[in-house]
Structures are given as structure tokens and as C-alpha cells.
Structure 1
Amino acid sequence: MKNISVIGSGTMGNGIAHVYAQSGFAVNLVDISADALARALKTIEKNLDRMVAKERIDEATKNSTLANITTHTDLKTGVANADLVIEAATENVDIKLKIFRDLDAFTKPECILASNTSSIPITKIGAATNRPDKVIGMHFMNPVPVMKLVEVINGYATAAEVTALVMETSKKLGKVPVEVNDYPGFVANRILMPMINEAIISLFEGVAGVEEIDTVMKLGMAHPMGPLQLADFIGLDVCLSIMNVLYEGFGNPKYAPCPLLVNMVTAGYLGVKSGEGFYSWNHGTKELIVSKQFKK
């Protein structure tokens, strides 16, 4: 595989485009918004500059990486020659199914179609196409240029040779691919999200405060950041969506999202993206400041 198309130029999409381009692949970055594509290229260049400053890459690698990326606002044009398409659009099942129906129509028959979804079933996505054997999940972690893991998710009909090729390609990026099967939350979010939800329940029930809960997990369990801070970074709306997928998929009350999480999302407290979650993110400092609603 030489030609990669990435659908969506947000945080995950531009990160995926970055790592493929840096590894020598020709990348088409596709988004309906020209402004979003311009912001994505600036983000990639900024991240490359940071890598140059830290002497992780040289200037020539930075320039070749940027040269490997072409932007498109037309989906059909952007995927016409793709060997592999990675969809990184918003985590909305209807949007994703529409994209995959279009990809099925616009790409070469042999093209592999992958989704970066963190929770939507790959089998369901594959069923929207005429090539479910060539549909697979590639769940990259944020920030993509830094995090080594790629969760490779087999749909019910995904062909073994497709899985093998995606695993091999992931290794060429310097990533560590882990093969999992298509059940709600896969592995990463099936374990992570209930932990985050339990931290929110502990806060909701008054067991401890925001800083106390996060400190226990950072110092006691060697987590790089506490679960409430991590929830703010992921986006509380995303956390709620994944918890609902787990709850609906397993029908087990242990996956029911905490009422506090539901209320915060309803009120627009989404974490970093909205400027306020469990912490305040509009303070212009690296210091963590607990959101005023949780201050004692």
C-alpha cells in the first residue's frame, strides 16, 4: 500500500495523516471544510517543528512529510487512487455509515476501508458496504504522533489477509498494533470508560473531590493523568457516547453512565473543547484549576 486517504482533518485525522506522511506514504487528507484543512496543515507543521526542535527528526524529514500530504474537499477525488482509506470523522453512527457507503462507491474494489471509531461496531459499518471483508477498525490513540498503540478491530466479516496487511502497515508507522474483536468498546474503551465513569460516580457520591480522585490514581496507580483530567481531554460528550454504547451493547447496569456525566454534557460542560469540565481550561496556565462547580 502506497496511497492513503484520511477522511476528516480534526485532531485524530491530522495526526493519522502526519504519521503516514512521515513514514513515506502519499497521503490525501479529505475534509468538506477548506478552513479545517488549512488548520490541520498548520497543526501538522507545528508538531513537526516541535520534533525538529527536540532533534527527533531533521528539517529534511519535516519538509518531505509536508510534501507527502495533499488536501481535498471532494471525497470522490480524494479517495480515487487510495489503497487504504482511514475514516476519522465525528463519532456519529449515521455520518460514518453515510461516509462508508460513499467510500464503497468511490474507491477501487481492492481498497481497504478502515474506521478510527472508538466505539461504533465495525461489523455494522462493514454491513453498509458491498465489501465487509475489506472493512476494519484502526483505533489510534491521541496524540497520534506520540502514542504507540493502534487497536486493530476485526469486524465479523473482515478477511484475515486484510487484518494481516493492516497490522503490517501499522508497524511501518513505528506503532504497536494489537488485534482485537468487534464487541462494544473493543478493549481500550471497554476497560477505560467504566474506570472514568466510576471516578465520576465517586465524585457524584461525595467520596472525594476532583483533585483527590485524580491524585489517588496518579500516585497510587502510576497513571500519567487522573481519570477526571483524562475525561476532560477526551471530551465528556465522547465519554458519554461510549458509555451508552457499552450500556446498550451489553444490557448490563454496571455500564450505565453516571447522572453527573449526563447532566454535564447536557449543560455543555464538555472539558477542554468547551473550556470547562472537571477543570477550567480557559485560565491560560499549565496549572490545573478545578472547575468552580466542584470547588469546596
Structure 2
Amino acid sequence: MIDNIRTIAVVGSGYMGGGIAQSLAIVGFPVVIADVSVQYAEAARARLIDEADRFEASGVFPVGAADAVRKNLTVARDIETAVAHVDFVQEAVSEVVAIKHEVLARISAAASPEAIIGSNTSTIPVSELDVAVVGPERFLNVHWSNPAPFVPGVELIVGRKTDRATLPIVKRMLTRAGRSGAEVADVPGFVLNRLQYVLLKEAASIVEEGVASIQDVDTIVRTTFGFRLAFFGPFAIADMAGLDVYANGFHTFEEGFGPRLAAPQLLLDQVAAGRHGVKNGGGWTGDVDADRLRALEDYRARAYSALVRLRADLGPSPLEADAVAPAATES
């Protein structure tokens, strides 16, 4: 297996694959793209260059980004040509097992035996895809998020046959691209989409029950807990609100909605151990003394106020009907 990623092929140049290729080209990786036809890949390259020009002109991309895309992003006539001599191949084709099997078989047959191969599947376990891969020990899921040029988190999932030595190599590539790789288990939906889909399902239930409209649910999410999620994950937010408060809240939910919204044992164990979050010294996210608590409070205040100012500067999105609302406190 290669010990460092220097050259990259992206197979599938649509919205996700194109965004990944663009992100890697901007930071200096030579990237070759391939798709169902050379004409489709050439059109994708032209689109990505045009987009980089527009984004650089508006200040969204750094100066020099568009020239980097022009210089580093090339097109191959087919998949086999694209992957033949690169260190890393990112597959980003349709989220259909049969299509991925066909493409991964072609990639792994033509790529160097030392090349690492990553899928960008958002929900399909590695164990359902590696059966099509020649040399599955060099195969893993490298799941970028949409839109790839801007969202910094990437899920990394190794399968039952994956050599774990691939992880630090891929992480170094992601770090160079300004991304953070987080390893999660090989289960359907992994973490990102398991959480995202559960939120959408509960949001849909709220609308179906007549509790709130689609527009009002979206407003609540983006101006309350969704606002905080830009800086803190759910465990940190619960630690700041108080784990005993959450336990009491789950009691109310269980009475109203039944066992599906009962308190998780992970929470009850913390409360039983007397760890109620930052207010009494720590919880899930570690011990918090007085100095660390003050630093946390100061950071949170700066972060939330900066986001309020940013939203005010940007104004409401084209999808919003209301004005920008201030952030809420934890609850």
C-alpha cells in the first residue's frame, strides 16, 4: 500500500464528486475526473472552473483557487485511464448498490494494487460494497458531506476486510484539504445520516400531527438548537444544559410519547454517578474545573454572538420567510 497520497482520481463528477475533486485540486493535489463519458467529465470540469471563478470573485474561495482548479483538475477518457496511476481513488457515483458494484469492480481492476480506494456512499455499509473490490484491504468509505467545498467533516468507515493502515494515510490527505476525518462503525447510515434522517422523521411527524408547520419547524431548528450545533455536538450541549435536566425532560417525553422517547441508559448512568454536566464539574465531555468553565462560557458567548452578526450580515436565505432571529440559550 502507498504511504502517502500525492495523486487522486475521482470517479463520478456530479455535484458530490465534482465538489470533492474541486476541493482537492484547490489545495494542490493533481486530480483527474472520469464519468460515464469523456464529454460529461469535460462539461463537469468546465462547470467546476466557472464555479471557482465566481466563488473567488465573490470572496467565497481564496485568491488563486480558480487557477489551482484549472491547473490541477484534468479529465480522463474513461475510468480505467483515470485510476491507472494514482495513489487514491474516490468513487462518487449514484447511491445504488448495483451501480457502485460495477464501478468499484472496474476501478479496483485497473488501479495500482497499492492504491487506496474510497467510496463516498452516504448510507451503504462497506461490507455491502467490498465484495466487488479487488483487494478489499485497501478499500474504505470516505464520506464527504454536501456541499463538499465548504463542509469540513468527513466520515471514515473501515470494513471487515479493510487494512486499518489506510486510515492515517487518508487522514493526512484530508488534513491537507482542511477537512476533519472522524472514524465511525460500519452500519447503515453511519452517524451523519442516521442522525439527520431521524431528525427529519421526527420533524415530519410533528407536521403530520399538526404541532407546527414545515416553515415553523425549520425556523425553530435553525434558530435554536441548530444554531448551537455549529459549535457544539449534542453531548456537549447536554453537558452545558444539565444532564439532570435532560433526564427529567425524557421522563416527560416518555409519559407523552411512550418508550421510544425514554431516557437513554447512557444519560441515566451519568446522572446516577452524580455527573450532571459542566455545572457540577463535568459529564460526557470530561471534567470541567472553574477555569475551564469560565473559558467555555467566554468561548460560547463569542461564538454565538459572532454567528448572530454573521447571519445579520448575510441576511435571510432565499428560503426564509422571516428575519434573522437571535440565538436561544441551552434548554
Q: Contact 1:32–1:73 (CA<8 Å) still a contact in 2?
A: no
In structure 2, the CA distance between the partners of 1:57 and 1:218, relative to structure 1 (3 Å rule), is: closer
Q: Does 1:178 align with 2:182?
A: yes
Q: Does 1:7 align with 2:11?
A: yes
Q: Contact 2:88–2:117 (CA<8 Å) still a contact in 1?
A: yes
Equivalence for 1:37: 41
Deviations 1:35-81 (A, max 9, x none): 4324422332233221243175224x421321111112411111111
Q: Which runs of 5+ in 1 are unaligned?
A: 226-253, 255-284, 290-296
Equivalence for 1:114: 118
Residue 216 of structure 1 aligns to a residue whose secondary structure is helix
Equivalence for 1:204: 208
Relative to structure 2, which stretch is displaced further, 38-47 or 21-30? 38-47
1:286 aligns with one of 306, 313, 318: 318
How far the C-alpha of 1:92 sits from its partner, in A, is 0.5
Structure 2: distance between partners of 1:207 and 1:216: 12
Q: If the length of structure 2 is used for normalisation, what is the TM-score?
A: 0.65
How far the C-alpha of 1:145 sits from its partner, in A, is 1.0
In structure 2, the CA distance between the partners of 1:76 and 1:224, relative to structure 1 (3 Å rule), is: farther
Q: Which runs of 5+ in 2 are unaligned?
A: 230-259, 261-316, 322-331
Equivalence for 2:246: none
Residue 90 of structure 2 aligns to a residue whose secondary structure is strand
The alignment's C-alpha RMSD in Å is 2.1
Equivalence for 1:245: none
Q: Does 1:53 align with 2:85?
A: no
Equivalence for 1:135: 139
Structure 2: distance between partners of 1:46 and 1:208: 41
Structure 2: distance between partners of 1:224 and 1:38: 40
Residue 167 of structure 1 aligns to a residue whose secondary structure is helix
Q: Contact 1:123–1:132 (CA<8 Å) still a contact in 2?
A: no
Corresponding pairs, count: 230
Deviations 1:123-174 (A, max 9, x none): 2211222311110111111111111111111111211111111111111101
Equivalence for 1:221: 225
Residue 12 of structure 1 aligns to a residue whose secondary structure is helix
Structure 2: distance between partners of 1:183 and 1:171: 25
Q: Contact 2:38–2:78 (CA<8 Å) still a contact in 1?
A: no
In structure 2, the CA distance between the partners of 1:224 and 1:117, relative to structure 1 (3 Å rule), is: farther
Q: Contact 1:113–1:136 (CA<8 Å) still a contact in 2?
A: yes
**Amino acid of the structure 2 residue aligned with 1:71:** V
Structure 2: distance between partners of 1:159 and 1:205: 48
Equivalence for 1:64: 68
Structure 2: distance between partners of 1:2 and 1:103: 18
Structure 2: distance between partners of 1:81 and 1:154: 23
Residue 94 of structure 2 aligns to a residue whose secondary structure is coil
Q: Contact 1:52–1:62 (CA<8 Å) still a contact in 2?
A: no
Q: If the length of structure 1 is used for normalisation, what is the TM-score?
A: 0.72
Identity %: 31
**Amino acid of the structure 1 residue aligned with 2:141:** G
Structure 2: distance between partners of 1:222 and 1:45: 32
Structure 1: distance between partners of 2:83 and 2:25: 16
In structure 2, the CA distance between the partners of 1:95 and 1:219, relative to structure 1 (3 Å rule), is: same
Residue 160 of structure 1 aligns to a residue whose secondary structure is coil
Deviations 1:203-235 (A, max 9, x none): 22322211111112122213499xxxxxxxxxx
